[in-house]
Amino acid sequence: MAGHPGLVNVQRIDDVVYLLFSPAQRLHDLPSSRISQGLKSIHMHYNTYTQICIQERRVKLPPVKQLLIVYHSQTGGTEQMARAAASGAKQASGVGVRLEVATATGPDALLDSDGYLFACPENLAAMSGLMKDFFDRTYYPVLDRIQGRPYATLICAGSDGTNAARQIERIATGWRLKAIADPLIVCTQAQAPERILAPKQIAAADLARCEELGATIAAGLDLGIY
């Protein structure tokens, strides 16, 4: 391991092994202390070499599963929820997390992922238009190609959110996805036009719920439950 001078000397391992496993008469010429020292040297160098290989493999090993979080956010509330969910999902070391805006996400992202979190605001008692555009663009290209995969939904609403959640549920049913939790709906209680259009700040308790949902779906993917 040239990159780790002083820790592992492969040539030293080779030399000791050659001495120990050469013909028997050669071993007879070696004092017992030399053999003992050689065995200790092999053990030390080999253990260090193995640990470094394991560590380097852990760094280079790609995640086994992929979680795709698709979101649209107009006033920032849904983005905060999606990012909280992504933070929770990243706790699963065996799962890669892709956080993507709906306008930039296409069929390939869905096909390349093993589970999904869909997040959007509810506007006029429906999912936001750009989130609907995402589903319009991707629905048929992935139909019958992602069935059985797990999903969950995040909705940022003024006072309800259930209509947007039902719309996403119908689409997911068409794809034959598997819901792993009830829709997580956060109501900001924004009713007046100026409050509806104003930037949102999601409460810490609600962000914690989003983080927990992200951790749940990622852990299920990591453990092969879903």
Whether 213 is covered by a domain: the verdict is yes
Contact 128, 121 (CB under 8 A): yes
Q: Are both 137 and 217 inside the same structural domain? A: yes
Alpha-carbon gap, residue 210 to 204, rounded angstroms: 10
Whether 2 is covered by a domain: the verdict is no
Q: Are both 204 and 98 inside the same structural domain? A: yes
Whether 144 is covered by a domain: the verdict is yes
Residue in this structure with the two tokens 């092999």, named with its chain if needed: 42
Q: Which residue has the higher pLDDT, 43 or 169?
A: 169
Q: Is the pLDDT of residue 34 over 60?
A: no
Q: Which residue has the higher pLDDT, 57 or 170?
A: 170
Q: Are both 56 and 96 inside the same structural domain? A: no
Question: Cα torsion at 12, 16, 18, 21 (round to 10°)?
Answer: -150
Which one-letter DSSP state was computed for residue 92? -
Q: Are both 34 and 79 inside the same structural domain? A: no
Q: Domain tally for the chain?
A: 2
Q: Are both 93 and 20 inside the same structural domain? A: no
Q: What is the mean pLDDT of the chain?
A: 84
Whether 1 is covered by a domain: the verdict is no
192 — pLDDT class (breaks 50, 70, 90): confident
Q: Are both 145 and 36 inside the same structural domain? A: no
Whether 128 is covered by a domain: the verdict is yes
118 — pLDDT class (breaks 50, 70, 90): very high
143-148: long-range pairs with CB below 8 Å, 24+: 143/174, 143/175, 145/111, 146/110, 146/111, 146/175, 146/177, 147/175, 147/176, 147/177, 148/176, 148/177, 148/178
Alpha-carbon gap, residue 17 to 32, rounded angstroms: 15
- The pLDDT assigned to 2 comes to 45
Q: Are both 30 and 99 inside the same structural domain? A: no
Look up the CATH number of the domain holding residue 197. Answer: 3.40.50.360
Q: Are both 38 and 77 inside the same structural domain? A: no
Residues 6+ apart with CB under 8 A from 49: 1, 8, 10, 13
Whether 4 is covered by a domain: the verdict is no
Q: Are both 97 and 144 inside the same structural domain? A: yes
1 — pLDDT class (breaks 50, 70, 90): very low
Whether 3 is covered by a domain: the verdict is no
Range of the domain at 96: 65-223
